Amino acid sequence: MKNYFSSNFKLGVLGGGQLGKMLLTETQKFDIYTSILDAAKDAPCAQICNEFHVGNLLDFNTVYNFGKKVDLLTIEIEHVNIEALLKLEQEGLEIYPQPNVLQIIQHKGKQKDFFVSHNIPTSPHKRFNNLQALKKETLKYPFVWKSAQFGYDGTGVKIVKTKNDLEVLTDTECIIEELIPFKNELAVIVARNKNGEIKTYPVVEMEFHPEANQVEYVICPARISDDVALKARNIALKVAESFQHIGLLAVEMFQTADDQILVNEVAPRTHNSGHYSIEASYTSQFEQHLRSILNLPLGNTDSKVAGIMVNLVGEEGFSGDVVYENMEEILKMDGVTPHIYGKKQTRPFRKMGHVTVVNNNLAEARKIAEIVKNTIRVISK
């Protein structure tokens, strides 16, 4: 086995946002040297990695030249230049998740086609090259519109209820999906290493903000029957095996009214739905990501305790230098741990941090999470 620890091995990470910042906690724990590339000079990772490089993740030369200087490359965001990664891989660099997996997943149309071709249950969809092509179609309202690429955190996703709603859509390559009436939105994180060892985390339940289309709470374990949980974990395993990916894969799903599980979409990296694991699990998703890409034995994915994650997002009506109001109040509460991502500027609905609530009693944790949500405010000076 390679010596990754306290050695001259260099791990490269494309992206220096909050997911990278939380990954760095684990690389520091293991004393693994990290080099990070991000477009923003004040990205959350900038001050705490071993090497920080400023550059465009979608630029071929920037990504290629960065990759030439590291021993293994991973990502914390999937919007990266795939051609550069394919060339680096051809030249012998280990890249996880693999470029061919990223190429499918970063394009929502290809991702949905992949589910269909691998018999993975998902909602019916159609692909369009632009808005004009979509407008020519005989449409059945309501439906879900998604930009084929570069959507995130509710950006690039709209529920289209009437013909008038078409006028506010971006003119870009897109997909439309049947709107699924569902009981719950669920997610399962799957870890897989090069040896083919594979593990799933428990099923989590996601509660969304009605307007921002952003997760407000992630609840682990999900409040569902054992049968539904088993079905969700098995489908997530099937997705991971179909991609043969190495690293973490977050599989987001719908539980329908009749308890069918449909895959909504996947993310080939650590994910918001796994943040609870830092405090609540034996092995956090960030440590597990490291274990999987370095082909180390995978850690225990069980929870030690029930966990609820509350997203901290910029409050409406505030933009500018961030202020976290009432932080002392939430720090007085038992089992409450805030994580501040290090973004200096806030704006409405921007993800600025999260708070984990752990408790032996899930219902009690949910009550405390509500109090946390109503107490802390992310505003500006």
Q: Which residues are annotated as a binding site?
A: 108, 146, 177-180, 185, 264-265
CA distance 157 to 148: 10
Cα separations in angstroms, 70 against 10, 13, 64, 269: 5, 9, 11, 19
Alpha helix locations (H) across the chain?
Answer: 18-30, 60-67, 82-90, 99-105, 108-117, 131-136, 226-243, 277-280, 285-293, 327-331, 362-375
Find how far residue 132's CA is from the centre of its chain. 31
Give the annotated binding-site residues for ATP: 108, 146, 177-180, 185, 264-265
Residue 57 near residue 79, CB atoms below 8 Å: yes
Cβ partners under 8 Å of residue 181, min gap 6: 256, 257
Tokens of 338: 């805030």
Distance CA 377, CA 315 (A): 7
Calpha distance 114→254 (Å, rounded): 18
